[in-house]
Amino acid sequence: MLNVGLTHFLVISVTLFSFGMYGVITRKNAVMVLMGVELILNSANINFIAFAKFGNYGLQGQIIALFVIVLAAAEAAIALAIVINIYKTITNINVDEIDSLRD
């Protein structure tokens, strides 16, 4: 049980995903929500690389992880631009107060 195998990596990935999801759900600040999304993407990457290693799929898992990292960079840039625009418009980035589309 103490010898590190596939399940250890998967358990770490599940825990990291849960923490990220918790951050996305509970934090009010939009930048904190973004940090939760980054945690979730990292946990997905751990899964890809762990399955590629323990299933002997060569480098394909690592290539997908590389693509996920690129997408995360693009997503962070776009999301921060949107957050800064929201701040300029209503001087507040608490996600529970941005509800003008609802009215």
Partner 1 sequence: MTVYDIIFYLFAAVTLISAFFVVTNRNIVHSAFFLLFTFFGVAGIYVMLGADFIAIVQLIVYVGGILILLLFGVMLTNKIVNVEIKTGTIHALPASIVLGLFAGAIGAAVLNTNWKIVESPDPVPTTAAIGRMLINEYALVFELLGILLLIALIGAASMARR
Give CA separation, 83 vs 24, 25, 28, 79, in Å: 15, 17, 13, 6
Q: Which phi-psi region, left, alpha or beta, contains residue 56 (left: φ > 0; alpha: ψ -120 to 50)?
A: left
Contact pattern for partner 1 over residues 20 through 59, marking x by CB under 8 A: xxxx-xxxxxxxx-xxx-xx--x--xx--xx--xxxx--x
90 binds partner 1, rule: CB under 8 A: no
> Residue 20: in which H helix or E strand, if any?
helix 6-26
Identify the residue whose tokens are 């923490």: 19
Number of residues that bind partner 1 (CB under 8 A): 69
User: Which residue in 44, 69, 90, 101 binds partner 1 (CB under 8 A)?
Assistant: 69
> Which residues contact partner 1 (rule: CB under 8 A)?
2-12, 14-23, 25-32, 34-36, 38-39, 42, 45-46, 49-50, 53-56, 59, 62-63, 65-67, 69-78, 80-85, 87, 93-94, 96
